[in-house]
């Protein structure tokens, strides 16, 4: 699906020709209620951060070919469809700096059935958009991914799973994290056609399945809990599904039995019975360390003791970076009393040094965040501390973006671009000073 704004979030980037950055480009939705012949386009006025470009400055790419405005106006059979985004390329030596830009456009169109004195029709849009650089992971450094949880509310309403994947690839990430009960149509028994499509899409967008988030719903009935056999069956079914979809780890969220999030007492037996399968499928089982449970807490320490005791290398910790949060988030959370900040949104302020201590036990990092502002500053999570600890400890696994801020339509799509920009710039800094 296309974004409602004319200027799309996806596709805002610099353009390199023969090794030189010669401009920037963005994707533009057809603003009129009907498509038009390319010859009826009268140009696009563009202002970026206060610098203006006249209507004929940009190149237009439509139907896979680039045109100057003059060339476009002389085309004969080219039709700009409503379901086709135009790529607008603006010549600026050196392009734009990676970051958040103020981008305004007026799209000018003629329409022969409208009297000439009214023409051209003028369609305006102005928004903040985040330009991401062409990126490659630093060898031996972090790997960058995004969880589809980030798109909560937008999926199935404003965007498809394929849109999410296109967004993730567009910002330079290479990993994708799914949620079993959220993203798999027909769960727990997706069709073979859907599984084929999943593999086709990951290939198309160059994405590696990272972790799948699942649940063991121990208290799914009112009158009794799952038996150990039933809980194990839930976990193992999802492990097989994870494996079939190409994921290399699974996060099972167990039912809890206390306000302190003590996991259901059957968790340990459930995992023990599944370690052989984890080995066989080579799928890591990752309990999530999530606010309000800090690192120095019996639950987390219980998992670590389990690892030490069993000697397994297929059970590790998933760290949700919400535990490092230093500032309260006051956005509310769907499903909860709006007058109360739920415990997991209270700043737990775990010091990053504690991460260093347990790093050998960490299998995955969910890069939870709530808001990165237009100066590319995170308002709640101290990324420099967290990434410094991970870097110093030699962590070379995934940072999987998990946006959990305001659920305004489309907001996540730009927020994850900002967050990746922020994390990558800190990592580059750490390598420069190494």
Binding site for a copy of itself (CB under 8 A): 1-4, 29, 31-37, 39-40, 73-74, 77, 79, 81-83, 109-110, 112-115, 117-118, 121-123, 149, 152-153, 155-158, 179, 181-183, 185-188, 215, 217-222, 253-256, 258-259, 261, 264, 334-337, 342, 409
Q: How far is the CB of 428 from a copy of itself (least distance, A)?
A: 32
CA 170 to chain centre: 10
CB nearer to a copy of itself: pick between 52 and 81: 81
Tokens of 55: 């209507």
CB nearer to a copy of itself: pick between 12 and 149: 149
Tokens of 321: 């970076």
Q: How far is the CB of 101 from a copy of itself (least distance, A)?
A: 23
CB nearer to a copy of itself: pick between 224 and 309: 224
Tokens of 41: 């386009």
Residue 290 bears catalytic tag: yes
Q: How far is the CB of 267 from a copy of itself (least distance, A)?
A: 11
How long a stretch of residues is the chain? 434
CB nearer to a copy of itself: pick between 260 and 308: 260
What does the alpha-carbon distance between residue 246 and residue 32 come to, in Å, rounded to a whole number? 42
Q: 282 Cβ partners below 8 Å, 6+ apart?
A: 243, 248, 314
Q: Is 302 exposed, middle or buried (0-12, 13-18, 19+ CB in 10 A)?
A: middle
Q: How far is the CB of 142 from a copy of itself (least distance, A)?
A: 26
Q: Please state the three-class secondary structure of 137-169 as a single string.
A: CCCCCCEEEEEHHHHCCCECCCECHHHHHHHHH
Cis status of the peptide bond prior to 55, with omega within 30 of 0 = no
CA 261 to chain centre: 27
What does the alpha-carbon distance between residue 101 and residue 373 come to, in Å, rounded to a whole number? 12
User: Number of C-alpha atoms within 13 angstroms, CB side, residue 120?
Assistant: 19
Q: How far is the CB of 68 from a copy of itself (least distance, A)?
A: 14
CB nearer to a copy of itself: pick between 188 and 360: 188
Q: How far is the CB of 227 from a copy of itself (least distance, A)?
A: 13
CA 281 to chain centre: 26
CB nearer to a copy of itself: pick between 183 and 415: 183
Are 110 and 42 in contact, with CB atoms under 8 Å apart? Answer: yes
Q: How far is the CB of 243 from a copy of itself (least distance, A)?
A: 20
Q: At what angle do helices 161-170 and 192-204 cross, to 10 degrees?
A: 20
Q: Looking at 101, 290, 380, 391, which residue is catalytic?
A: 290
CB nearer to a copy of itself: pick between 14 and 232: 232
Alpha-carbon torsion, ordered 234, 237, 243, 245, to 10 deg: -100
Say which DSSP state 56 is in: T
What does the alpha-carbon distance between residue 193 and residue 215 come to, in Å, rounded to a whole number? 24
Apex 179 CA angle, 177 and 181, nearest 5: 165
Among 312, 290, 321, CA closest to 398: 321
CB nearer to a copy of itself: pick between 3 and 378: 3
Q: How far is the CB of 160 from a copy of itself (least distance, A)?
A: 8
Handedness of CA 285, 291, 295, 296 (dihedral sign): negative
Among 384, 388, 420, 379, CA closest to 402: 420
Residues involved in catalysis: 290
């Amino acid at each position: 699906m296309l974004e409602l704004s004319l200027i799309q979030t996806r596709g805002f980037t610099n353009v390199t020709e023969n090794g030189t950055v010669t401009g920037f480009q963005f994707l533009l939705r057809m603003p009129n209620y009907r498509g038009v012949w390319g010859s009826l386009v009268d140009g696009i006025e563009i202002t970026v951060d206060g610098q203006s470009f006249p209507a004929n400055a940009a190149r237009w790419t439509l139907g896979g070919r680039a045109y100057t405005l003059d060339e476009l106006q002389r085309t004969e059979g080219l039709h700009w469809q409503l379901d086709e985004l135009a790529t607008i390329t603006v010549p600026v030596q050196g392009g734009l700096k990676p970051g958040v830009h103020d981008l305004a456009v007026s799209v000018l169109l003629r329409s022969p059935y409208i009297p000439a004195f009214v023409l051209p029709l003028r369609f305006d849009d102005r928004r903040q958009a985040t330009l991401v650089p062409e990126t490659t992971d630093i060898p031996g450094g972090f790997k960058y991914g995004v969880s589809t949880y980030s798109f909560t509310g937008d999926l199935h309403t404003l965007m498809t799973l394929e849109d999410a994947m296109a967004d993730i690839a567009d910002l330079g990430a290479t990993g994708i994290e799914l949620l079993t009960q959220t993203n798999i149509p027909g769960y727990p028994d997706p069709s073979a056609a859907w599984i084929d499509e999943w593999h086709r899409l990951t290939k198309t967008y160059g994405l590696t399945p990272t972790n799948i988030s699942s649940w063991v719903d121990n208290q799914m009935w009112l009158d009794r809990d799952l038996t150990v056999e039933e809980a194990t069956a839930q976990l193992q079914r999802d492990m097989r599904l994870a494996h079939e979809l190409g994921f290399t780890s699974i996060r099972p969220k167990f039912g809890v039995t206390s306000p302190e999030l003590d996991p259901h007492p059957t968790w340990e037996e459930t995992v023990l019975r599944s370690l052989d399968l984890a080995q066989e499928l080579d799928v890591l089982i990752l309990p999530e360390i999530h606010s309000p449970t800090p690192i120095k807490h019996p639950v987390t320490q219980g998992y670590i003791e389990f690892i030490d005791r069993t000697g397994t290398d297929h059970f590790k910790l998933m760290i949700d970076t919400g535990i490092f949060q230093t500032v309260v988030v006051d956005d509310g959370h769907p499903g909860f009393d709006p007058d109360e900040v739920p415990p997991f949104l209270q700043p737990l302020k775990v010091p990053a040094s504690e991460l260093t201590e347990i790093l050998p036990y960490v299998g995955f990092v969910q890069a939870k965040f709530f808001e990165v502002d237009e100066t590319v500053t995170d308002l709640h999570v101290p990324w420099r501390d967290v990434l410094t600890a991970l870097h110093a400890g030699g962590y070379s696994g995934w940072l999987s973006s998990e946006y959990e801020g305001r659920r305004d339509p489309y907001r996540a799509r730009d927020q994850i671009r900002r967050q990746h920009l922020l994390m990558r710039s800190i990592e580059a800094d750490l390598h420069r000073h190494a």
